[in-house]
């Protein structure tokens, strides 16, 4: 059937409208920013907020030169000191210390190592406990099931009062960081918590408090032992499984779990350096952030060596004092 000039013009006009709609859809700003540009990350302020919003929009907008496919949109966060306060010590230490103190008689009778650990826990001798972190990760809950350990950690997290802030650990989570995690999820990022703490301690709190699925928790591991318990399989805890999830161990475990380098990373200590450097190796547009504890609303302390590395490598330093409108959400 021959095409008339009028019919041809109609076809061209309709095609032009369709292409225009497709172009707009392809290049539009993500909904969070298009509908409420002033509301995204409203717990943040200053330059870092702008850097984060620009990065998230750029890598998640189809058609952008920096667009990253969702399968490669991987973000990793350290936990203690990055998502929540770690003073006077990380909550995984708190969980072990409280158990050692409450079960001192039973545990001390198992041998000299157990007795020394119980005494150090009772005195809050953090020098000894940090020096023997392999033991504190393993011995208090040796032979216990993973379910028991996870339940104990959750209970401690929700009820134990931080002596320096006089509030439970669950109230010491940084609201701006959780807000950021929520925004990353909205824009197709796979968010992982990567910590030196034991993996099942992280999993105990990750979904309810950190807004990260427990399947995306990467931590230090203890070997599992499986045995039949009626119709179910029970898994009990054994020795610490190397490498611990600090320093190069973080990069190793991220690679083994995900098979790729992250494009976005947040840390706060020297133990996070390898994770940040691994992120900097991504072929996509990537960013590494270092949280600096310079805010008296939380605790004031610094890691000078990490801050120097961040300056040399052009990583973004997040001043809690300057970048957080609120710390804990109050």
Q: What is the DSSP string of 122-156?
A: HHT-HHHHHHTHHHHHHGGGTT-BHHHHHHHHHHH
| Pair 171, 328: CB distance under 8 Å | yes
Closest C-alpha among 325, 261, 286 to residue 59: 286
Torsion of CA 105, 108, 109, 111, to 10 degrees: 180
Tell me the CATH architecture of domain 34-88+173-323: 3-Layer(aba) Sandwich (3.40)
Locate the domains of the chain by residue range: 34-88+173-323, 91-161
- Residue of higher predicted confidence among 24 and 141: 141
pLDDT bucket at 134, cuts 50 / 70 / 90: confident
pLDDT digits (tens, 9 = 90+) for 197-233: 999 999 999 999 999 999 999 999 988 888 888 888 9
Q: Is the pLDDT score of 296 beyond 50?
A: yes
Instruction: Identify the band that residue 278 occupies on the pLDDT scale cut at 50, 70 and 90.
Output: very high
Q: What pLDDT is recorded for position 29?
A: 35
pLDDT of amino acid 330: 66
């Amino acid at each position: 059937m021959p095409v008339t000039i009028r019919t041809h013009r109609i076809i061209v006009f309709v095609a032009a409208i369709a292409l225009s709609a497709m172009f707009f859809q392809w290049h539009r700003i993500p909904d969070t920013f298009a509908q409420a540009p002033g509301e995204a990350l409203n717990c943040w302020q200053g330059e870092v907020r702008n850097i984060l919003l620009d990065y998230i929009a750029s890598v998640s907008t189809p058609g952008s030169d920096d667009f990253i496919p969702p399968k490669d949109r991987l973000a990793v966060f350290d936990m203690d000191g990055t998502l929540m306060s770690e003073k006077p010590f990380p909550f995984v230490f708190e969980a072990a210390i409280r158990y050692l103190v409450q079960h001192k008689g039973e545990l001390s009778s198992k041998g000299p190592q157990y007795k020394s650990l119980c005494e150090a826990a009772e005195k809050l001798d953090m020098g000894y406990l940090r020096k023997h972190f392999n033991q504190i990760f393993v011995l208090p809950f040796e032979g216990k099931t993973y379910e028991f350990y996870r339940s104990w950690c959750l209970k401690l997290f929700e009820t134990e009062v931080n002596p320096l802030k006089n509030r439970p650990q669950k109230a010491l989570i940084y609201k701006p960081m959780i807000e950021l995690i929520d925004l990353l999820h909205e824009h197709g990022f796979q968010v992982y918590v990567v910590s030196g703490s034991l993996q099942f301690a992280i999993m105990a709190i990750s979904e309810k408090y950190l807004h990260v699925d427990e399947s995306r928790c990467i931590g230090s591991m203890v070997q599992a032992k499986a045995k039949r318990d009626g119709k179910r399989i029970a898994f009990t805890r054994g020795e610490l499984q190397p490498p611990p999830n600090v320093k190069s161990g973080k990069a190793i475990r991220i690679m083994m779990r995900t098979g790729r380098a992250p494009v976005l990373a947040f840390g706060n200590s020297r133990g996070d350096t390898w994770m940040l450097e691994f992120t900097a190796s991504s072929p996509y547009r990537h960013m590494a952030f270092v949280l600096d504890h310079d805010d008296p609303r939380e605790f004031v302390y610094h890691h000078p060596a990490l801050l120097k590395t961040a300056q040399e490598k052009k990583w973004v330093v997040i001043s809690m004092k300057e970048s957080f409108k609120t710390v804990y959400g109050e």
